[in-house]
Each structure stands twice: as C-alpha cells, then as structure tokens.
Amino acid sequence: MKNYDRAFKVNAVKLSYERGKGQIASIERELGITASCLYRWRQDFEKFGTGSFCGTGYLKLTPEQKTITNLEKKIKNSELTLEILKSGSKYVAQGKVMTKEFIENNKHKFSILKMCNSLEVSRTTYYLRKKQELSGTEIRINLLKEQITAIFYEFKQTYGGPKIAKELEKRGYILCSSQVNIYMKALGLRRKAKRKFKATTDSFHNHYVSSNVLNREFKVTDPSQVWVSDITYLQTKRGFLYLTIIIDLFDRKIIGWSLSDTMGTKTTTLPAWEMAVSNRKIDKALIFHSDRGSQYANKVFTKTLDSYNCVRRSMSRRDNHTDNAVCESFFSCFKRELINKNKLLPRKQMIAEIYEYIENWYNKKRRHSYLGYRKIEEFDRINNLL
C-alpha cells in the first residue's frame, strides 16, 4: 500500500473542495488515488482540520483540542521555568561558578538546555566553565562569600557590612565594609529590620522624680560611672513578661536584669539592681539614669538607691525616649534579633531564649559599634576589667 505525506493529502482534499463533487473521479485519476482514500481524507480533514494527517504515534486533535493542548504545554513549561528560577536564582547571583554547580547538581531533574534558558545562562559559558579550573581570585571570592554567609547566620542575621567586616578581620580576612555589602547583596543576605514597640512606662504618678542629670552624655570614661535602666514587655503564648535591664555605659554590658510576669518594683527594678551591684562594684560617684516610671520613682526603690551614699538619681524628661537612648537602642536590637514577629513562643522557651541572648550572646559574642566593633569581653580585657 502506497504511503502519502501530509502535504499531498491536504492538497488532494483542498482540490476536491475547489472542483466540487462532480470532479472527484477526475481528481482520483489525476492523482492516482482511490475514491475511498479521498473520501476518508475528506472526513478526517472535516473533523480535525489542521490536526489531521498527523502520522503514526500522534494524536488527532480538533482545533479546540489542539488549542487546549498547546495552552497546557505552555502552562507546564512556565511552571518548570518558575521552579528552576526559585531554586537557581540565588546561585546565579553568586556568579558563574555557583551557577555551574547548580546546573550540575540538578541535571537529573531538569534538562541542561531548559536550565540555561530559564536562568539566562549561555550554554557555551556553562560548558567552558565545566572544563576550566577555578582561578585563584575565584577561589578567594568563593571562600569570602562562604565566610560572610556563615557569619551572617551565626550572628542571627543581624550583622550588616561593618560588623561582618570586623568579624572577618578577626578570622584573618581583610575586606572593607562596602565590599562586604556588595557580596551580601549578591548573596541575598538582608539583616532583620527594626520594629517599633509600645512603651511600658507609667510616668503619671505622685512619686518624686529627679531631673535629667545625665543630659544625654552617654559617653563615659570609667566603669560604674553611669548606669542606665529601662523596662519593656514581651508577649508570649500565655500573657506578657516584663524585662528590666541595667546597662553600664562604659562597656555597654548588661550588668543586671530581671524577668517577671508582673510590673511591681519587687519583681522588676529591685532584682535587677541587686544583680547589678553584685556583678559590678560602686567605688565612687555613680549616676543611675532611668525613665519616670513608678517602678523607679516609688519609695521602696528610692530608699534602696539612697542607701548607697554615692548614687545620684537621674530621670528622662516626660515622653522623651532619646534621654534614655542606650536602653531604647538595646530593646530595639533585642526584639529584632531575638523575637520572631510571626510566632509567639511558650513562656518557658521565651525565658530560656532571653537568658541565652543576654548572658551568652549580647554580653559575650555580639560586636558593638560603640566599642569599635569589639565584643564586650575584648573591650573589658583591653581596659583591665577582666
């Protein structure tokens, strides 16, 4: 049986339409085909249109079915492209070497052509990169990127370029902060954003308040020269916790703190003060600065401070948070670095994480810009406090 290609069949059917049914016999003789073939071809063409005569192994589709099939193919192709982009874009941002590694690691899942097209990577570049060894510069850059990424996550995604540059220096890598910022942008590393929180201070009371003796002089030359204190709230799955801190302005160390589920003086400021005086001696005149909250202004706490003849009181002006900027700054960093804004923690877990943050992270590991990007322990060692 003779085989005819698709073009021949289409032309034969069109010719039969043009000449009409009365000329079908002459068309058969002219083309050397049988009447049954031509009628069968006409029926196939009338039903499937351009989808007819598709050959062995292919489905015959009506124009509507073909349109749907093409749309389904486009959707599938788009989904595949999106999947590749989601997985591979961060590698492209890290350069040719990492892009090559991504393609190599995923060629069992996607075709190399599809990955190159989706990521807008030249196949020629990919194959050349696959053959070539890394240059010394590329090895150094990759090592720096690995170190930057490791530091970023080690320090709770809170360090920007200057602090990461200082940490790199401690580890033997010299890189300016602007270059670190460029690498962080390429790696898609963004430090956590600051959030605003409500104040817990109740300054409308009848207790005695002190003047603003400190007057925003936050830079001091000796330890136990100025201590600053404040209270903030923390929401858990079961109510609130209240964190009271006392910071020595000399080295920015939290020398006293307390955590409670009530706002009373006996559970907030008094325990924090007792911890502070046990951790750091008061050898000479000390300014103790706080806001005007009742926990600081009431008789019980005032009497406790007055028992130390060398302590002088100082309080922020009403509704002026910048008068106690160091504590405000700490709470801002604390809530940005520790608290997951989308998830409330159980009370026990919150307490454990606060202890870990203050004692092991903030007082020991965190680098402070005020201290020249040193850790508190490094700064204290230089100043013979350890």
Per-residue pLDDT at 303:
93
227: nearest Cα among 273, 278, 293: 273
Does residue 193 register a pLDDT over 80? no
User: pLDDT grade, residue 26 (50/70/90)?
Assistant: confident
Give the tens place of pLDDT for each residue, 282-295: 988 999 999 999 89
Give the tens place of pLDDT for each residue, 53-98: 665 544 555 667 667 767 877 888 888 888 888 888 877 777 777 7
Per-residue pLDDT at 150:
85
CA count, 13 A, side-chain hemisphere, 125 = 16
Question: Which residue would you say has higher pLDDT here, 34 or 349?
Answer: 349
Q: How far is residue 207's CA from residue 60's CA, in Å, rounded to a whole number?
A: 91
Does residue 335 register a pLDDT over 90? no
User: pLDDT grade, residue 188 (50/70/90)?
Assistant: confident
Q: How far is residue 252's CA from residue 313's CA, in Å, rounded to a whole number?
A: 19
Q: How far is residue 32's CA from residue 27's CA, in Å, rounded to a whole number?
A: 8
User: pLDDT grade, residue 228 (50/70/90)?
Assistant: very high
Taking residues 331-340, report their average pLDDT.
Answer: 78
Q: How far is residue 347's CA from residue 341's CA, in Å, rounded to a whole number?
A: 15
Give the tens place of pLDDT for each residue, 110-119: 888 888 888 8
Token reading at 340:
């997951």
Q: How far is residue 196's CA from residue 331's CA, in Å, rounded to a whole number?
A: 10
In the DSSP assignment, the letter for residue 132 is: S
Q: How far is residue 324's CA from residue 317's CA, in Å, rounded to a whole number?
A: 9
Query: Which string of b and e fits 361-383 if b means at least 16 CB within 10 Å?
Result: bbbeebbbeebebbbbebbbeee
Per-residue pLDDT at 58:
47
The overall pTM is greater than 0.85? no
Taking residues 177-183, report their average pLDDT.
Answer: 88
Phi, psi of 375, rounded to the nearest 5 degrees? -80, 155
Q: How far is CA 52 from CA 20, 33, 81, 260, in A?
A: 21, 18, 31, 80
Does residue 104 register a pLDDT over 50? yes
Taking residues 137-162, report their average pLDDT.
Answer: 81
Token reading at 171:
């580890």
Q: How far is residue 233's CA from residue 295's CA, in Å, rounded to a whole number?
A: 14
3-state secondary structure of 34: coil
Does residue 189 register a pLDDT over 50? yes
220: nearest Cα among 131, 271, 287: 287
Looking at every residue in the chain, the average pLDDT score rounds to 82
Per-residue pLDDT at 87:
84
Phi, psi of 286, rounded to the nearest 5 degrees? -125, 135
Does residue 146 register a pLDDT over 60? yes
Per-residue pLDDT at 208:
77
User: pLDDT grade, residue 224 (50/70/90)?
Assistant: very high
